Structure 1
Amino acid sequence: MNRFSYTRANDITSALQAHDAPAAAFLAGGTNLVDLIKEGVARPERLVDIRRLPMKAIDDNANGGLRIGALATNSAVAYDQRIQSRYPLLSKAILAGASAQIRNVATVGGNMLQRTRCHYFYDTATPCNKRDPGTGCGALNGVNRIHAILGASEHCIAVHPSDMCVALAALDADVRVSSDQGDRVIPFDDFHRLPGDTPEKDTNLRDDEIIVAVDLPAEGFAEHHAYVKVRDRASFAFALVSVALALKIDGDRIDDVRCALGGVAHKPWRNRQAEAALRGKPLEAATVRDFAASIVRDAQGRPGNAFKIELAARAIVRAFEQASGQELAASEDDPT
């Protein structure tokens, strides 16, 4: 572990000033950052403790939704009665992640900024373009069972590990950030990045910015929603594939749909073109299976993770069944 200085900020201005230094890092819950420091993956020269900043509240916002402070803990959000009644999809996704102990200290902002759980990223003896740009990607021809099937590049096939972020992507949340230059709002879909040629950059957050809050829209899809998470064990495991589905149903037709996938890409994955094509169509097995097939049509598997393509399609169908309360997969030629 490298030596670093420590400072505690009491307001956003002092936090940004203290963070304006080479290799500085914000410390909130620390559930990911501390692990990275211990493993020698992150080597900050200054830690700026922001736990005293006034960013823990969950309040109404101007759009008729809720504003969640960046320092609200995952547990506080998941068990908030307004979240459970108006945005149950978000509550279920959070409770599907990590353990109760971690959720009690992990923050919303920290959850959004957590790094990948790729084996090669954590092993400093192996090549990793995300950790050390230009060294190569050990997962390309290595152990890649947990890695991406969508949106990857020749430089990185890691996935984003968050459950919470998959739900926020499906809900079309906004991220509010602040800097000395002022405030701005980043649509959640634009917050995380695909790897491209710069896999070391996980988000579009600038170095001089801090996450202040997340805004939820008025529509929470409380009546028809589902969070399906497929993992190797029943608890405290990252998703091989997850699906956050939000539905509006008008009679026997799909009025609106939001479908975000986790465990398959560098960011929560949505296909808005496929969603648009599904609106107005009948809610029936063939329609849903076609939609699932369109989501994974461009997926590219590797020897270790090609199974994820079929798994993702089946998880989408399962999510539609749970959200609608209908049996959609029964077919002699399709055992989904």
Structure 2
Amino acid sequence: MTGVMIIRAFLDARDGVEDNDTPARNVMLIPDSAHGTNPASAHLSGFTVKTVRSTAQGQTDLDHLRELCATGDVAGLMLTNPNTVGLFEKEIREICRIVHEAGGLVYMDGANMNALVGVARPGDMGVDVIHLNLHKTFSTPHGGGGPGSGPCCCTKELEPYLPVPRVVKEGDQFRLDFNYPQTIGRVKAFHGNFGMFTRALSYILTHGPDGLREATEAAVLNARYIAHALTSDYDKPFDAPPMHEVVFTDKKQTRKGVHTLDIAKRLIDYGFHPMTIYFPLIVQGAMLIEPTESVGRQELQQFIDAMRAIAREAQETPDLVINAPHTTRIGRLDEAAAARKPVLRWQPPAAASAA
């Protein structure tokens, strides 16, 4: 949300506001494949969200983007690259050009930087502001026991609007500087999740440019290895080679009554944590597999063998998959009821049964 707030502050300073204090540009464009946190951040920052369609090939629809940008009220575009179906937006420079010519800015969700570090720079693509998911790309724990950490990077033009305080070095000492008149101000009461910054910096310095590039190449290679190995067993909705993650669907298995959730539950019996399922939303029955750079060839093959075995079971003994898992202490949970009526604290047995 910090990046979107920076865009808001920059546009208000550049374009001003209407007589009723309404921003001149109040529309944020977001692809239909985006993670739900993107529209949530835009709404919280006061923007109206409009959706950009994806093509049948999983890319941003440029014609639809041009149509939406022609209205004159577009503040920017929130884009993930590679996108959430695991494909690199091959027209990224044209996408940025269209938005910039319409007077908007481009925010890039850095969730998938695992496929780009050491290989490509978002600034060269035309991106104005980006956040980095340290837990996904730079090996920090997911929040380190506290809030997550997503450092915000931007162009020189947007620098005055970055949050405060900022660390300034004077001689051999450091101090916190609040004196930035155009800043969006504080975004946290404390100084961010500092422990994550130091861990990520240690990771970067330890690996260096060559090591970071090697990690990126390994992440992409691992995903493409899985994509190639499972193509005959599961439906792969997009022909383009994936980047660091690959999406399959349950299209071949639904003929036997087996669905994505069943496949994920059956994976537990084979000793694997299930992949992300039913996301991205534009893919029916999606199974999003992201092996990362840290998984070796042997582990990849074990996962592939398990997925192939489940594909065979779905055809030959579908009930085995539909009723999975079989080896866990607790069987299939009613996840819909858990989502609709969550029990978030312990209750005495009598009170729990009455509820």
TM-score normalised by L of structure 2: 0.23
Higher fraction of strand = 1
User: Could you say which structure has the larger radius of gyration?
Assistant: 2
Q: TM-score if structure 1 supplies the norm length?
A: 0.24
Q: Greater helix percent: which structure?
A: 2
Tell me: higher relative CO, structure 1 or 2? Use CA pairs within 8 A at least 6 residues apart: 1
